[in-house]
Amino acid sequence: MAPSSYDGSSLFNFVVRDGNGVKGMVDLGLSKVPEPYIQPPKERIDKEKATRHEQAPIDFSRLNGPDHDEVFKEIVTAAETLGFFQLVNHGVPVDLLESLKDAAHKFFGQPSEKKAVYRKDVSPSPLVKYGTSFVPEKEKALEWKDYISMGYTSDAEALEQWPKECREVVLEYLKTSMNMVKKLLEILMGNLGAELDDSKIDALIGMKMVNMNFYPTCPNPDLTVGVGRHSDMGTLTILLQDGIGGLYVKVAEEIDNIGKQGEWVEIPPIPGALVINIGDALQILSNGRYKSAEHRVRTTSTKSRVSIPIFTAPKPTEKIAPLPQVVEKDGMAYYKEFVFADYMKNFFGNAHDGKKSLDFAQINSA
């Protein structure tokens, strides 16, 4: 029986509980979008109304030459406005990025039962989780996405516990990206007047996780979303997207040559580039100067899409609060101090809903 004719609960069991995912459902044959995946009209992504982000990527190699100050300023400006930018010549080999995309297709191309062994409640490793959507039990409409999530503790544990189809290339991606991440943090925190040593960097990005996301072809992309509106909870996210596109970012305040407040801007794929976005933790540390980017993903009817983000975040035990030197300049703190584990619990306990996760840390001015 085609899954579009399943009732809601049997479809949910097939996709979520049994671990078949959206891909398993699509592989059975779909002529229309099943009801649980149809988004309310206000959450659908109107491709025609979005503009394209046409700004050139930032050439990261220019940081080491006479253009250092200009590149510094480009990165800071992007963090203060859209919260998203693209980097080329970032130090991660382009052939490694191609291998990553191949590894993602290889992993998700396996039979469902091979992937389902990593489901949340049965995974042989606490570091690895295979799932679908975001918090399917709490969502009014499900997201058209499957994913494998790999938490990092050490090289040895990654090579032992991450899925064999992708662990070596994913670990290489993570390790070769860290030099870039540290340089970006030095720029962004230095701009706020904070000096960073190794222990402070570790406090900001001590938790690292790599996801491989898979967005199967969809019979009607206009009715669905690959990922709903949200900002990332951590410090910085590094994203490899393939050539298909579908990533949209919301303009928080009007930005010259980019868009008006409230508009959605598509971040087009650029060969060899990595997409960088600011997370909630960095918005809080900067007392709101840097903007965690609200973003979402559209589905496609032509070809399955993959994306591979690295999420960097403070360790769960870290206390997070706006930097004192920024608060002194601003005259007040806009966010309270909290233990990051509490923020994580709030973030993962709710369905995607724009930047609502930041309410947890906000100090009410009333």
Q: For residue range 147-200, what is the model confidence (pLDDT) as tens digits?
A: 999 999 999 999 999 999 999 999 999 999 999 999 999 999 999 998 888 888
Helix intervals (H) in 209-292: 280-285
As a whole number of angstroms, the distance between CA 85 and CA 300 comes to 23
Give CB contacts under 8 A, 24+ apart, made by 1-6: 2/28, 2/29, 2/30, 2/31, 3/28, 3/30, 3/34, 4/30, 4/31, 4/32, 4/33, 4/34, 6/34
Residue 255 has pLDDT above 80, yes or no: no
CB burial of residue 131 (10 Å; 0-12, 13-18, 19+) = buried
Q: Which of 157, 173, 154, 153 is nearest to 124 (CA)?
A: 157
Note whether 139 and 350 are within 8 A (CB).
Answer: no
Q: Residues 6 or more apart from 175 whose CB is under 8 A from it?
A: 155
- What mean pLDDT value characterizes the chain? 89
Q: Which of 194, 200, 152 is nearest to 177 (CA)?
A: 152
- Is residue 22 situated within a structural domain? no
Residue 337 has pLDDT above 80, yes or no: yes
Say what the pLDDT of residue 2 is: 44
As a whole number of angstroms, the distance between CA 342 and CA 14 comes to 32
Say what the pLDDT of residue 365 is: 44
Structure confidence by residue, pLDDT tens digits, 268-282: 999 999 999 999 999
- Is residue 13 situated within a structural domain? no
Q: Which domain holds residue 261?
A: 30-360
As a whole number of angstroms, the distance between CA 348 and CA 335 comes to 20
Structure confidence by residue, pLDDT tens digits, 202-230: 889 999 999 999 999 999 999 988 888 88
Q: Residues 6 or more apart from 260 whose CB is under 8 A from it?
A: 251, 254
- Is residue 308 situated within a structural domain? yes
Helix intervals (H) in the chain: 8-12, 21-27, 68-80, 94-108, 112-116, 155-161, 167-191, 198-205, 280-285, 324-330, 340-348
Locate 105 and state its tokens: 């297709």
As a whole number of angstroms, the distance between CA 166 and CA 146 comes to 16
* Number of structural domains in the chain: 1
Give me the mean pLDDT over the 224-251 stretch. Answer: 91
- Is residue 207 situated within a structural domain? yes
Give me the mean pLDDT over the 130-145 stretch. Answer: 78
Locate 48 and state its tokens: 């025609």
Question: Which domain CATH number covers 57?
Answer: 2.60.120.330
- Is residue 86 situated within a structural domain? yes
Locate 208 and state its tokens: 């690292």
Distances from the Cα of 235 to the Cα of 49, 170, 203, 303, 304, angstroms: 30, 20, 10, 31, 29
- Is residue 4 situated within a structural domain? no
Structure confidence by residue, pLDDT tens digits, 31-86: 898 888 888 888 888 777 777 777 899 999 999 999 999 999 999 999 999 999 99
Give one word for 14, left, alpha or beta, with left for phi > 0 and alpha for psi -120 to 50.
alpha
Phi, psi of 49 (to 5 degrees): -85, -15
Q: Which of 229, 239, 231 is nearest to 306 (CA)?
A: 239
Q: What DSSP string runs through 117-159? A: TTBTTT-S-TTEEEEESSSGGG-SS--S-EEEEEEES-HHHHH
**pTM confidence score:** 0.92
- Is residue 1 situated within a structural domain? no
Say what the pLDDT of residue 31 is: 84
Percent of the chain exceeding pLDDT 70 equals 94
Locate 72 and state its tokens: 């510094």
Locate 235 and state its tokens: 């410090």
Note whether 344 and 233 are within 8 A (CB).
Answer: yes
